[in-house]
Structure 1
Amino acid sequence: MIERILRDRQGIWQQVVEDRSLTRLTGQMLLSSMVALACYGAVLGSFHSVWMAMTSAVKLPLLFLVTLAICLPTLYLFNLVFGARLSVRQSLSLVMVALTVTAMLALAFAPIALFFLITAPDYGFFKLLNVAILALSALVGLRFLTGGMRVLNENGLLAPEPPVVEKAPAAVAPGGTDAASASSPAAGPANGSGGTATLTAPAPVQAAPAVPPGYMLTPIVNPHQRPVRPSKQTQATPPSMTLLYVWILLFGFVGTQLAWTLRPFFGSPGMKFSLYREIDGNFYAEILRTLSHLF
């Protein structure tokens, strides 16, 4: 799955645009990402004990799933409010692409984390190293998400559907004939010999050549003036793209606070094993405190 996303991302985006077999695609991405996050969670908890490795292997996939469940309705409603025509399956598939890339990149960094765990078993350094790995992996995954939204914008799924303009019916002249038939030449009155006078059709008038709007028929050309090329019209960025970056920030804040709530993932070496800890402080204060102790 990760090879298909990295090698054929345009095919993935086209499948999302066409809303084709998205249930199967989303299930494959969900399974792949959960397995990768479970493996990486086991690496995080292995700093403390086997029990911590097992619980972190469960809590890290749970962290991403709960964050997705909290934030996905906001993304979907943002799109609906501003006229986007994305379904729930399409929105979920977009976010799952980002989540799968994040999980696979984190798994790719797992040997590096194990290397530093064996050679430099320092709790503060190991914690900051893995926070940096997860942050970098999440940034790459969110870049895939913004790329997919741009593809949907190019296909017109982020803009409201244009209204259908119906053609006006042809004008009908009194008597049941249309205007074209009424304006055609008719037979004249009878002449003195009892015959009918034949009217000759007027010569066709040659239509004037179509002139594009904004141009003169005989433009005045200055030989010393360089020709100005018409500027290329750029497509305006829809509000859904702007709100996507707001949603990414919201996703980051919810995820970090939930990670602080579900801790421990690493397990402090001076403390006994515990499944959860009391909620005190916040994630960012802990990172700053760890940095101050490390440097």
Structure 2
Amino acid sequence: MASDGSGLLVIERILRDRHSIWQQVVEERELNALTGRMLAASAIALACYGAVLGAFHSFLMALTSAVKLPLLFLVTLAICLPTLYLFNLVFGARLSIRQALAMVMVAITVISMLAVAFAPISLFFLITAPDYSFFKLLNVAILTLSAFVGLKFLTGGMQVLNEHGLLTTAPPQQVPQQVPAQVPAGAAEVTAPAVPVPATVAANGDGRPQVAAPVPVAAGPAPVAAPVAPQLPPYPQPLHQLPPGYRQQQPGARVAAGGQRPASMTLLYIWILLFGFVGTQLAWTLRPFFGDPGQDFAFFRSIEGNFYAEILNTIASL
């Protein structure tokens, strides 16, 4: 897809033509504009879904949740992005801060769009079965599923960057060595014409000179040029146009020994867990998002307990 997409349509490009997104990140081309569009689309989608969450309590709670849900994701990103960037630097990755930000914003955009796609289902249960505990668990499950899909996009994009050598240390430049041409096996030898050797003069018994005939000496086989190997297309190429095995032949590309993933990919999964823990704790700090109908409106609640204990208590109350 040639166009970069604008506004909410950026999610269509991510879902339909994600290879062009990865290619744009690899080339570091117009990342500021792409990141800005993803940021705007995510904020709008999360605000709409936050309004659905708060609608269970009151109109005022819907407005505050529409502000707090985008804030939750953006503050979590601001807290965790430096860790992801420094993790990659420590282990020799060549990923820039703009590339790291763009990759995480792809995941957040997918999460926000999937969440807002579930908004009609959440509204349906809000109208037909207005049970606070069930409504809260339903939306936690929706956000968890959306986060799982979005983070799968993140890991898939990082694997593409890894194949292009951005998550590994750049190898030293190698000077090409001159290899002498060799005659291919089975090829006919090309011989040069015989070079005559000067005749020698010897005395016969009667005193007359005897001239020896010239002895032809064959020259060695003439060198034959070695066959020229076909050249691969120049880097970078669109990912979907690369020939099979080309990405593994890029200079600096990962060569996995024994099928092991590089340390930067392992740290990515650790960072995802960190992102989840920070996000859930921040969500507990910014609560309420749903609003218990048995309590008055409050912009924030007092910090007590934790997110996971609250989920267990909610399941027990069903």
Range class of TM-score, shorter chain: 0.7 to 0.9
In structure 1, list runs of 5 or more residues that go unmatched: 170-200, 211-231
Determine if the alignment matches structure 1 residue 276 to structure 2 residue 285. no
1:147-170 Cα deviation digits (max 9, x unpaired)? 00010011111110001234799x
Aligned sequence identity (%): 73
Structure 2 counterpart of 1:204: 220
Query: Could you tell me which of 154, 157, 174 is aligned with 1:165?
Result: 174
Alignment partner of 1:263 is 2:263: no
For the pair 1:69 / 2:93, whether they are aligned, the reply is no
* Structure 1 residue aligned with 2:95: 86
Equivalenced residue count is 241
Deviation at 1:70, TM superposition (A): 0.4
1:53 aligns with 2:69: no
1:111 is matched with 120
Q: Per-residue deviation at 1:236? A: 4.1
- Counterpart in the other structure of 1:27: 36
Give the C-alpha shift of residue 237 in structure 1. Answer: 1.5
2:73 alignment partner, SS class = helix
For residues 49-107 of structure 1, what are the alpha-carbon distances to aligned partners after superposition, in whole Å with 9 as ceiling and x for unaligned?
A: 01000000000000000000000000000110111111011000000000000000000
Question: 1:249 and 1:235 mapped to 2: Cα distance?
Answer: 23
Q: Offset of 1:235 from its aligned partner?
A: 5.8
Seen in structure 2, the aligned counterparts of structure 1 residues 274 and 233 have a Cα distance that, compared at 3 Å, is: closer
Cα separation, 2, equivalents of 1:33 and 1:106: 10
Structure 1 length-normalised TM: 0.78
Quick one: distance in 2 between partners of 1:261 and 1:7?
Answer: 36
Query: In the TM superposition, what is the alpha-carbon distance from 1:204 to its structure 2 partner?
Result: 3.4
Give 1:70's aligned amino acid: I
The root-mean-square deviation of aligned C-alpha atoms, in Å, is 2.2
2:314 pairs, out of 285, 290, 293, with: 290
Q: Which runs of 5+ in 2 are unaligned?
A: 1-9, 179-216, 227-255
Following TM superposition, by how much is the alpha carbon of 1:202 offset from its aligned partner in structure 2, in angstroms? 9.2
What's the CA shift for 1:234? 6.5
Q: Does 1:127 align with 2:143?
A: no
Q: Which residue of 2 aligns with 1:144?
A: 153
SS in 1 for 2:124: helix
